Amino acid sequence: MSSEKASGKFGRLFRRWLLLVVLSGLGLQIYFVARVIAMRYVNPESTAFERSQIMQMLQSEHGLRWRQQWMPTNRINASLSRAVIASEDDMFASHDGVQWQAIQKAWQRNEKAQARTPPTGKAPKVVGGSTITQQLAKNLFLSGERNFVRKGQELVITLALETFLSKQRILEIYLNHVEWGKGVFGAQAAAQHYFSKSAAGLSSWEAARLAVMLPRPKYFERLPQSPYLAERAQTIQARMGAAELP
């Protein structure tokens, strides 16, 4: 076979491969959008993050310990919604799913961290000021891996959530699936686990305390008497009155 024919065959194979990659990527986005649209009417039974946690528990010596119960927003004390917004995303009611200034600052931090990493060193984690919608997008569909490709996919899902779901629905799904400890998912399970009561009966201080746990729920579950947890809860409780509900 001549070099010209071999080059032509290679070119055709490459174009087919590239087309397949593009179509696969498009199909994946259509799948995500379809799943998001379905959430307007159907409560998601589980998230990708929850399923990964179940697998880890099943493989551990302690076995599966799971607490979760769906609660509609009107059966979750509004104090918890205010506390979570005050703690995690104070612009939730007004932004389009992404706080672009926070993303820009995070991108700059990531670039500086990568520049400091030796060629043979471990790559730094990709971090970014995630909104409630971004956190939900990540937990619903994506793995815990942090890289720029996965971050880009997170943004696509975030925009789909903001396009097809109301802010109230996004917050409702978030509060019912966010992790609050080992095998503890959702507001109802958290209220029962930590305060032996329903999510409807949470006080403003209890709501603030749960909200403060969210970035590191398993860590604070092991350290319930953490001075930081108590002090930060007081700060969030003071901010709750100014938190705008969607």
Indicate if 210 and 95 belong to the same structural domain.
Answer: yes
Indicate if 145 and 27 belong to the same structural domain.
Answer: no
| Segments in 89-166 forming alpha helices (H) | 100-116, 132-141, 148-164
Confidence label for 123 from pLDDT (cuts 50, 70 and 90): very low
Indicate if 126 and 167 belong to the same structural domain.
Answer: yes
pLDDT top residue among 236 and 21: 236
pLDDT top residue among 62 and 173: 173
Indicate if 119 and 190 belong to the same structural domain.
Answer: yes
**Domain extent for 150:** 45-242
What pLDDT does residue 115 have?
Answer: 57
Indicate if 92 and 121 belong to the same structural domain.
Answer: yes
Lowest mean pLDDT among 103-107, 139-143, 219-223: 103-107
β-partners of residue 184 are 67, 181
Structure tokens at 63: 């076995």
- Segment 190-218 shows an average pLDDT of 96
3-state helix, strand, coil in the chain (%, to 5): 65, 0, 30
Indicate if 195 and 231 belong to the same structural domain.
Answer: yes
- Segment 71-82 shows an average pLDDT of 96
Lowest mean pLDDT among 107-111, 207-211, 219-223: 107-111
Indicate if 83 and 107 belong to the same structural domain.
Answer: yes
| Segments in 60-123 forming alpha helices (H) | 78-88, 100-116
Indicate if 80 and 29 belong to the same structural domain.
Answer: no
Provide the CATH number for the domain around residue 144. 1.10.3810.10
Number of domains in the chain: 2
The model carries a pTM of 0.84
On the question of pLDDT at 122 being above 60, the answer is no
What pLDDT does residue 26 have?
Answer: 87
Confidence label for 109 from pLDDT (cuts 50, 70 and 90): low
β-partners of residue 56 are none
**Single-letter amino acid code for the residue at 94:** S
Indicate if 26 and 55 belong to the same structural domain.
Answer: no
- Per-residue b/e over 101-133, b at no fewer than 16 CB within 10 Å? ebbeebeeebeeeeeeeeeeeeebebebbbbbb
What pLDDT does residue 83 have?
Answer: 97
Indicate if 75 and 17 belong to the same structural domain.
Answer: no
Indicate if 34 and 122 belong to the same structural domain.
Answer: no
Confidence label for 80 from pLDDT (cuts 50, 70 and 90): very high
Indicate if 88 and 27 belong to the same structural domain.
Answer: no
The mean of the pLDDT values for the chain is 86
d(CA 99, CA 131): 7
28: enclosing H helix or E strand: helix 3-38
Confidence label for 126 from pLDDT (cuts 50, 70 and 90): very low
pLDDT top residue among 109 and 28: 28
